[in-house]
Amino acid sequence: MVALIIVISLYVLCSLVLLAFGAQCYILTYLFLRKRRQRVAFQREAMKYYYGVTDENQYPLVVTQLPMFNEKQVAQRVIEAAAAMDYPRSRHEIQVLDDSTDETIGYVDETVKSLCSRGYRVKVIRRADRTGFKAGALQHGLNFTDAEFVAIFDADFVPSVDFLRRAMAFFVNRPRLGLVQGRWTHLNKNASLITRGQAMGIDGHFMIEQAARSWNGLFMNFNGTAGVFRRSAIESSGGWQHDTLTEDMDLSYRMQLADWETEYVPDLTVPAEIPEDINAFKNQQFRWAKGSIQTAIKIIPMLARKKMSRFKFLQAVLHLTHYMVHPLMLILAMLTMPVLYFVKVNLPLAWFVGIVCCMILATSGPATMYMVAQHYIGNRIRQQILLIPAMMLIGTGLAVNNGKEVFEALLKRASPFYRTPKKGESHGTTGYRPVKDLTCIIEILIGIYCLVSFQLFLGYTNFLVSPFLMLYASGFLFVGVISIIHFRKPALIDFKIKAPEATEI
């Protein structure tokens, strides 16, 4: 009896927390809409500032850092794109932070040599070891520059010619502005159903969530790329640290806790590559899921000591712990069968209708946010709405992969650092392939379990949970089967990096 009470209580608690995360999507959408017109008008005007400045000495010194590790498919492209930005050459230097161990070294050296011969200020910085991975490389690069501002682009990004000129305008007469973050767009959005679903999720985060937080004085995170830092904001906040897998979120929160401001600019766009292989996407999600929970464990105590409104604190906690939705979904999927077997609920009609309405509102929260994002990006809603089921399947199916990493973070377990292979403009194999494990088998088994649960209790006092059981079953089976299909694809190199010590995750 005690065990049953515990199971039911856990089921109800998980449901309520997921309800809260669903409602959060409405809150962020409202915060975005109430500030959109005012902030967009201000930002579009602000970005024109340096187009009227002809004296190069009035431009701050900027270093563009390009961290990379074995990126032969995209290394040349990002270096040339960084050099092509129309910021005065005398005020702009480029650091290629190359930790590569393969033929990428040759591509980098050849490209840099060519650019230097044409008068560009480009240098390659290599380390004896990869301590701290990307965070370590970024921190190490600061030792070789006197620049006041630091722009950062991952290897698969292609900054536009006017990115720096537009981004640097926001720092004028704003001495406490520590970060300007641009919006990711997509080079290969239409490659597959997987990439289309990912693109919609990314668009929702960048168009709605980031804007809502930044424009309303809430904590927002640096997204690891496509942004510009004031160097003093980095250094006064403790610099780049590598005790979490999301060094970008960690630094940006520490920076804001030190009272530095942020500016998110949706019109400041930078296209990037989306993982086309589901296993590469899982590797990426592995870092984001585990890293964000590691950062939450580190940062939330700091937030608790900082004087702020309860609403701002709650929004920060929901932001940092967003990946908790995946283990919560996994727990609900596993507990539904025993709960339905032992609990027979006969609700009055009014209660039944009320609960159904709450569930519909909560589960449609993310879809609503994504559709609003697509509208303001300029995409046709009729076409995009057809992608909602695919995105829901992917999001649900990732619960095993991401849930596992959340639990690892909570248990403070060290794990390998998995890089996400980039395809670039090549066709066929990339020369690298993502790390693959047997998570797909677990996904399929849990999918079958949910499908059996759905069939056993269909029409039997489970009107409220039948749709969710079907969603769980479809999501787990979809991601599991696709993972196995991609698992069998050939590649030249299986890239797995040795696990670091616990302090260098």
Catalytic residues: 99, 248
Q: Are 250 and 241 in contact (CB under 8 A)?
A: yes
Question: Where in 42-153 does DSSP place strands (E)?
Answer: 62-68, 92-98, 122-125, 149-152
Q: How far apart are CA 404 and CA 398, in angstroms?
A: 10
Residue partners of 62: CB distance under 8 A and separation at least 6: 87, 91, 92, 93, 147, 148, 149, 150, 151, 164, 168, 228
- How buried is residue 248: exposed, middle or buried, by Cβ count under 10 Å (0-12/13-18/19+)? buried
Describe the crossing of helices 388-397 and 466-487 by its angle, rounded to 10 degrees. Answer: 80
Alpha carbon dihedral 53, 55, 58, 61, in 10-degree steps, equals 110
Phi, psi of 226 (to 5 degrees): 60, 40
**What angle in degrees, to the nearest 10, is found between the helix axes of 349-363 and 2-46?**
40
Sheet with 177-186, edge to edge strand ranges: 122-125, 92-98, 62-68, 149-152, 227-230, 177-186, 261-272
Tokens of 350: 């009014």
Structure tokens at 151: 């722009």
Backbone angles phi, psi at 17, to 5 degrees: -65, -40
CA 436 – CA 438 distance, rounded (Å): 7
